[in-house]
Structure 1
Amino acid sequence: MEILLDGPLSRAELSRRVGLSPGSLTRITKPMLESGLLVEVSAGPSDPRVGRPSQPLDVVAAAHHFVGIKLTGDHAVGVLTTLRAEVIATADLPLLEHSPQAVAATVAELTKTLAAYQPETELSGLGVSLGGHVVNKSQVRSSAFLDWYDVPLGDLLAAHTDVPVVVANDLTALTEATHWFGAGRGAERFCLITIGAGIGFGLVVHDRIVDSPDASLGLIGHQPLLADGLRCERGHVGCASTILTTDAIISQVSEALGRDLSYDECLDLAAQGDPTAKPLIDRAGYALGRLVAAAANFTLPDRVVLGGEGVRLVEIAHDALLDGLHFDRHPEATDPPIVLLDASFNEWARGAAVIAIQTFVLGS
C-alpha cells in the first residue's frame, strides 16, 4: 500500500515505513517483482562516492484494471481505472427499471463495455456504489433513490460476472478515493461535504476514514442551518436537506420565478445578478458556509473538500458562503482551505473503483 500511494520508494524508506528488516522486506517483495506487480526503477546514484545506483520500487499501475460504477436513480455511470485509480475510459447506461435483477444486468453490461477498452488484461475488481445503507460490502439494506430494501446486490452481481465484486455507500467510496488518490492526500485530517440529490459527509482522521454502521444514513442532511427555513418531512426547520439539495434549490428558484428551471439555469441567473434568483442562491451559499463551519468547528480539519453534482454553488455564491462560514467561526480562527471536486458522476464512479482497489490491495 505504501508503494501504491507514495511510490516509487527506496527499500530503506519502505523498511522504515513498514517496520521490516531488509531481509524480511526482500522476501515479501520478491514474488511481487517476479509477478510483475512491482518493478525496480532507476533514481540515479544514491552514493556519490561509489556511484552505486539506487533502484526504488514502484507498482505497475497498468498491470491491474478495475471498474467502478455509481448508481443514481436513473443511470449507471462507470469508469475503468488502473491500480492507481487513473481513469482510462468512461461509459454510462440508463436504468430503465429499478428491479434489482434489471439493475444487476445493467451493471454487468456496463462492466463488459468498459472491460473491452483493455481486452488484454482481465479485470481485478468491480466496485459499485449507491446512495443508501450498505452492509458487509454486499447487502443494500435501504436505498431511497432506487426504492430498495434488503437487496443482496453483491450476490446478484456475482451471478453475472467472475470478477470480485464489492458494494459500498457512495459517500464512503468518494471519501476513500479522496483520501487515497485525491484532494485529501497528504492531509492527516480532512472532511468531505457533498451537495446534490442529498447531502453527504465523510471524515478522515489520523489518516483513516471514520466509519460507522450509521455513516451511510445521510445524517448531516438534517443539520439545522437557517432558523427561518422551510420544514422538512421530519419536521426540522431550515435543515440542510431543505436548502442545499439540487431539488430544493430548483424548487425554490423555479417557484419564485414562475417557470421550470434546471439547476444550472438557477445558478446562471444568479451569476448574472437576477434580482430574484441571486438572493435565493446566496441564501443557499450562506447555509453551506454554516455547514462548513460546523464541520470545521467539530473536526478541526487540515482542509475541507466540497463535492457532488451541486458543487458549482460554491463558485456562484462564494462570498455568501464565506459570510456563513465566518458567522459561526471564532473571529481569530483561520479559514480551513477549501478544495472543490469535479461535479460529474465520474468522480463518484471512480470512488467505487477505489473501493475495489482497496479490497484487492488490503484483502478485505
Structure 2
Amino acid sequence: MRTAPRLPLATPAAVEVLTRILTQGPIARVEIARKTGLSQAAVTKAVAPLVEAGYVVDAPSARDDTVIGRPVSPLSVVESSVAAIGIKVTPGELFGVVTDLRANIRIARSKTLPDTSPETALDLLAILVGELLAAVETGDSPLSTGTTALAGVGVSVSGDVDATAGVVRHSAFMGWRDLPLGALLHERINLPVVVTNDVRALTVAEHWFGIGVNANSFAIVTIGSGIGCGLYLNGDVVEGAHGVAGEIGHLPLAPENLVCTCGRHGCVETVASSDAILARVREDTGRAELDLAGAIDLAHAGDEQARAAFDRAGQVIGSALAAMVNLAGPELVVIAGEGVADYDLYDHRIRAAFAQHAFGAAADCELTIRSHTFDDWARGAAATVIRSYIRTEPPF
C-alpha cells in the first residue's frame, strides 16, 4: 500500500471544511458555510482540489426546501481513499486494526506480547503492522482495491505520553520510562507514527466520529486495570500543557496507606481499578484463585465481602467523577471499559456518590455506561492518525 500524499489543503479554512465533511457528511455546502462562517464561494474553492484528488465526492441529489429552486450538493469523503492503522498496547497483547478515512474498522488482528521489554514490543509492533498491511493487500475489504493510501500508524499506550515528541514518558503498566517509541518504530517500518495516551486516543475517536460530533462537551472515563479520563471541552480534546490532563485515576481520594502502580499513595486506582477490586475480594474472602469474572459472580451471588469491594470502588469513582465535573463542567460523561456493562454492582453507588458531591447544576451532567472492546481502543489510535493527517500536525 502506498503512503498517502499530503492533502491539498492550502489554508486553515480548507482544513476546517474537510473536517466538517469528514465528521458530519454527507453535508451540503450551504450547511458548511453556516457552521464555519465561510462564504459558499470559499467552501467551493476549498472543496474543488479535494474532489479532483479523489478525497471528496460531490453528489447533487436533492433540493433545499429553504432555498427555492436551488439544488443541494451533499459532500462526502471517499472513505476508501485513505486508511490508517491503529494499535493498542497492553502488557500481554497488541491489538491492531486498519480503518478507512472515517475510522470504520475494516481489518482487525492481535498478537501476544510475551514480555514488556521495549525491544520485544517494538519488534512485534513492526510485525503486526506488516501483517495488517498484508491483510489489506490480500483481503476483499474496500481498502483492498489498490487505490487506498496509508496515512500512518497510531500507537496508544497507557500512562504519561508526550504525543508531540512520540515519547512514552512513563507507563507503569508497561514499565517504560522516556521511551522514544515513535522514532524507534518509525525506524523499523518507515511510516509516519503517532504515539498517544490510550484514553486520549479514545476521546479523539469520540470527538470526530462518535458522541463528540453533536456534543458541546463530554468526558470519557475508562475503568479497567487502570482508570483514565479524556476531556472534550471548548471545541477540542484537552491535551494539557505537559501532555497530562484528566487523570482522575490519580486523584488522592483513597486511603493513604494504599500504594498505586504509579508509586504514589491514595490514588483512586488503588481502590477502584479492576485489579484493585479483585485484589480486595481475594484478600477478604481468602480465595486467591478468583479471577475478575469470579469476583463479579461472587458479588452477584450476594457475598458481602465481594459486594463491599465493589461498593467501595463505586463510592470513590463517583467522588472522582464529581470532582472532575465540578472543575470541567462537561454535559455528558461516558463510563467505558472492557466488560464495564457487568459492573452494575457499583453503578448505583457511583451515581449516589456523584450526586452527593456534584456542585449545583453540575449534578445535571448525564452519566452513561458503555462497554467497548480492545479493538475500539485500537480504533482510537487510528483516529489520532486521521486527525493529525487532516490537520497536517506532526509527523505529517
TM surpasses 0.5: yes
1:18 match:
36
1:106 match:
124
Could you give the per-residue CA deviations for residues 158-188 of structure 1, whole angstroms, max 9, x where no partner exists? Answer: 1222332111111221121122112333111
Contact 1:197 1:245 in 2 (8 A): yes
1:206 match:
234
Partner amino acid, structure 1, of 2:198: D
From 12, 31, 48, the equivalent of 1:30 is 48
CA distance in 2, matches of 1:335, 1:114: 44
Contact 1:115 1:123 in 2 (8 A): no
More displaced stretch, 244-253 vs 273-282: 273-282
Instruction: Classify 1:250/1:218 alpha carbon distance in 2 versus 1 (closer, same or farther; 3 Å).
Output: farther
Moved over 6 A (4+): none
Partner amino acid, structure 2, of 1:29: V
Instruction: Classify 1:300/1:211 alpha carbon distance in 2 versus 1 (closer, same or farther; 3 Å).
Output: same
Contact 1:232 1:241 in 2 (8 A): no
2:101 paired with 1:83: yes
1:250 match:
278
More displaced stretch, 131-140 vs 62-71: 131-140
Instruction: Classify 1:132/1:289 alpha carbon distance in 2 versus 1 (closer, same or farther; 3 Å).
Output: closer
1:192 match:
220
2:145 paired with 1:131: no
Q: CA deviation at 1:58?
A: 0.9
Q: Secondary structure at the match of 1:158?
A: helix
Instruction: Classify 1:36/1:268 alpha carbon distance in 2 versus 1 (closer, same or farther; 3 Å).
Output: same
Contact 2:154 2:382 in 1 (8 A): yes
CA distance in 2, matches of 1:316, 1:90: 32
CA distance in 2, matches of 1:205, 1:224: 24
CA distance in 1, matches of 2:151, 2:363: 43
Partner amino acid, structure 1, of 2:113: L
Aligned-pair RMSD on alpha carbons? 2.4
Contact 1:244 1:288 in 2 (8 A): yes
What percent of counterpart residues are identical?
37
Q: CA deviation at 1:13?
A: 1.8
2:391 match:
362
2:11 match:
none
Partner amino acid, structure 1, of 2:135: Y
1:316 match:
345
Q: CA deviation at 1:302?
A: 0.8
Partner amino acid, structure 1, of 2:338: E
Could you give the per-residue CA deviations for residues 205-247 of structure 1, whole angstroms, max 9, x where no partner exists? Answer: 1121222244448842232335x6752255644x312111111
Contact 1:198 1:218 in 2 (8 A): no
Contact 1:129 1:349 in 2 (8 A): yes
2:196 paired with 1:178: no
2:10 match:
none
Normalising by structure 2, report the TM-score. 0.84
Q: CA deviation at 1:327?
A: 2.0
Instruction: Classify 1:73/1:202 alpha carbon distance in 2 versus 1 (closer, same or farther; 3 Å).
Output: same
Q: CA deviation at 1:308?
A: 2.8
Contact 1:132 1:217 in 2 (8 A): no
Q: Secondary structure at the match of 2:213?
A: coil
Partner amino acid, structure 2, of 1:160: R
More displaced stretch, 258-267 vs 12-21: 12-21
2:299 paired with 1:270: yes
Instruction: Classify 1:355/1:346 alpha carbon distance in 2 versus 1 (closer, same or farther; 3 Å).
Output: same
Contact 1:101 1:156 in 2 (8 A): no
2:6 match:
none
Q: Which runs of 5+ in 2 are unaligned?
A: 1-18, 138-145
2:41 paired with 1:6: no
Q: Which runs of 5+ in 1 are unaligned?
A: none
CA distance in 1, matches of 2:294, 2:257: 22
2:332 match:
303
Contact 2:198 2:380 in 1 (8 A): yes
Q: CA deviation at 1:59?
A: 0.5
Instruction: Classify 1:346/1:114 alpha carbon distance in 2 versus 1 (closer, same or farther; 3 Å).
Output: same
Partner amino acid, structure 1, of 2:54: G
Contact 1:138 1:153 in 2 (8 A): yes
Q: How many residues align?
A: 362
Contact 2:91 2:115 in 1 (8 A): no
Contact 1:184 1:305 in 2 (8 A): no
Q: Secondary structure at the match of 2:155?
A: strand
Instruction: Classify 1:137/1:172 alpha carbon distance in 2 versus 1 (closer, same or farther; 3 Å).
Output: farther
2:62 paired with 1:44: yes
More displaced stretch, 13-22 vs 291-300: 13-22
1:342 match:
371
Contact 2:107 2:136 in 1 (8 A): no
Matches within 5 A, 1:219-234: 219-226=247-254, 230-232=257-259
Q: CA deviation at 1:77?
A: 0.8
1:58 match:
76
Contact 1:11 1:56 in 2 (8 A): yes
Q: Secondary structure at the match of 2:189?
A: coil
Q: Secondary structure at the match of 1:184?
A: helix
